[in-house]
Protein backbone atom coordinates (compact mmCIF):
# COMPACT_ATOMS: atom_id res chain seq x y z
CA UNK A 1 0.00 0.00 0.00
CA UNK A 2 1.25 3.49 -0.88
CA UNK A 3 2.21 5.60 2.07
CA UNK A 4 0.13 8.75 2.61
CA UNK A 5 1.75 12.17 2.94
CA UNK A 6 2.58 12.98 6.58
CA UNK A 7 1.38 16.40 7.78
CA UNK A 8 3.45 18.83 9.80
CA UNK A 9 2.57 18.59 13.51
CA UNK A 10 1.57 22.25 14.01
CA UNK A 11 -0.32 22.86 10.77
CA UNK A 12 -3.87 23.23 12.15
CA UNK A 13 -3.29 26.32 14.31
CA UNK A 14 -1.27 28.01 11.56
CA UNK A 15 -3.96 27.22 8.97
CA UNK A 16 -6.63 28.87 11.11
CA UNK A 17 -4.62 32.10 11.00
CA UNK A 18 -3.42 32.02 7.39
CA UNK A 19 -6.43 30.58 5.55
CA UNK A 20 -8.84 33.47 5.92
CA UNK A 21 -10.64 34.98 2.90
CA UNK A 22 -9.31 38.48 3.62
CA UNK A 23 -5.75 37.16 3.10
CA UNK A 24 -6.43 36.11 -0.52
CA UNK A 25 -7.75 38.56 -3.09
CA UNK A 26 -8.49 37.38 -6.62
CA UNK A 27 -9.48 39.82 -9.35
CA UNK A 28 -10.67 39.10 -12.87
CA UNK A 29 -10.72 42.06 -15.22
CA UNK A 30 -12.54 41.89 -18.50
CA UNK A 31 -11.68 44.24 -21.32
CA UNK A 32 -14.45 46.78 -21.75
CA UNK A 33 -13.81 46.70 -25.50
CA UNK A 34 -15.19 43.20 -25.95
CA UNK A 35 -17.87 43.00 -28.63
CA UNK A 36 -20.63 42.21 -26.12
CA UNK A 37 -23.94 43.82 -25.37
CA UNK A 38 -24.45 45.46 -21.97
CA UNK A 39 -26.71 42.55 -21.01
CA UNK A 40 -24.09 39.98 -22.04
CA UNK A 41 -21.38 41.88 -20.19
CA UNK A 42 -23.53 41.98 -17.04
CA UNK A 43 -24.19 38.24 -17.27
CA UNK A 44 -20.48 37.53 -17.76
CA UNK A 45 -19.55 39.75 -14.82
CA UNK A 46 -21.91 37.81 -12.56
CA UNK A 47 -20.47 34.47 -13.72
CA UNK A 48 -16.89 35.67 -13.24
CA UNK A 49 -17.75 36.70 -9.69
CA UNK A 50 -18.49 33.02 -9.05
CA UNK A 51 -15.13 32.06 -10.58
CA UNK A 52 -13.41 34.71 -8.47
CA UNK A 53 -14.90 33.32 -5.24
CA UNK A 54 -13.93 29.78 -6.22
CA UNK A 55 -10.39 30.87 -7.09
CA UNK A 56 -10.12 32.59 -3.70
CA UNK A 57 -11.12 29.33 -1.99
CA UNK A 58 -8.60 27.44 -4.14
CA UNK A 59 -5.86 29.86 -3.06
CA UNK A 60 -6.73 29.33 0.60
CA UNK A 61 -6.61 25.57 0.11
CA UNK A 62 -3.22 25.83 -1.63
CA UNK A 63 -1.96 27.78 1.38
CA UNK A 64 -3.41 25.09 3.64
CA UNK A 65 -1.50 22.39 1.77
CA UNK A 66 1.68 24.45 1.91
CA UNK A 67 1.38 24.72 5.68
CA UNK A 68 0.09 21.19 6.27
CA UNK A 69 2.74 19.25 4.33
CA UNK A 70 6.54 19.67 4.34
CA UNK A 71 6.93 19.27 0.56
CA UNK A 72 5.09 19.14 -2.76
CA UNK A 73 7.53 16.63 -4.24
CA UNK A 74 5.65 13.36 -3.75
CA UNK A 75 5.80 10.53 -6.24
CA UNK A 76 2.88 9.82 -8.55
CA UNK A 77 1.54 6.95 -6.43
CA UNK A 78 1.26 9.20 -3.37
CA UNK A 79 -0.57 11.90 -5.36
CA UNK A 80 -2.98 9.29 -6.74
CA UNK A 81 -3.76 7.96 -3.26
CA UNK A 82 -4.35 11.49 -1.94
CA UNK A 83 -6.57 12.36 -4.92
CA UNK A 84 -8.59 9.14 -4.61
CA UNK A 85 -9.20 9.86 -0.92
CA UNK A 86 -10.34 13.42 -1.72
CA UNK A 87 -12.65 12.06 -4.45
CA UNK A 88 -14.28 9.70 -1.96
CA UNK A 89 -14.74 12.58 0.51
CA UNK A 90 -16.30 14.75 -2.20
CA UNK A 91 -18.75 12.00 -3.14
CA UNK A 92 -19.68 11.52 0.51
CA UNK A 93 -20.33 15.26 0.88
CA UNK A 94 -22.58 15.20 -2.20
CA UNK A 95 -24.56 12.26 -0.84
CA UNK A 96 -24.99 13.96 2.54
CA UNK A 97 -26.01 17.22 0.84
CA UNK A 98 -28.60 15.40 -1.27
CA UNK A 99 -29.96 13.70 1.84
CA UNK A 100 -30.24 17.09 3.58
CA UNK A 101 -32.00 18.53 0.52
CA UNK A 102 -34.47 15.61 0.55
CA UNK A 103 -35.09 16.11 4.26
CA UNK A 104 -35.73 19.80 3.63
CA UNK A 105 -38.22 18.96 0.85
CA UNK A 106 -36.09 20.61 -1.81
CA UNK A 107 -35.88 17.49 -3.99
Question: Helices (DSSP H) in 1-107: which residue ranges?
Answer: 11-18, 38-68, 76-103
Q: Is the pLDDT of residue 4 over 90?
A: no
Judgement on whether residues 101 and 67 belong to the same structural domain of the protein: no
* Residue 10 banded pLDDT, cuts 50, 70, 90: very high
Residue 89's domain comprises: 74-107
Average pLDDT value for residue range 9-34: 94
CB 66, CB 58: distance < 8 Å:
no
Domain assignment present for residue 1? The answer is no
Q: Is the pLDDT of residue 1 over 90?
A: no
Q: CA 49, CA 27: separation in Å to the nearest integer?
A: 9
Assessment of whether the complete model's pTM goes beyond 0.85: no
pLDDT of residue 3: 83
CB 101, CB 107: distance < 8 Å:
yes
Judgement on whether residues 62 and 30 belong to the same structural domain of the protein: yes
Query: Mean pLDDT of all residues in the chain?
Result: 95
Amino acid sequence: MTKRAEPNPDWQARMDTVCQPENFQVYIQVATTLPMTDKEHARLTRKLTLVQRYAQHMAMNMAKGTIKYPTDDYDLDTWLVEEADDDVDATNYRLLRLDAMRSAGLI
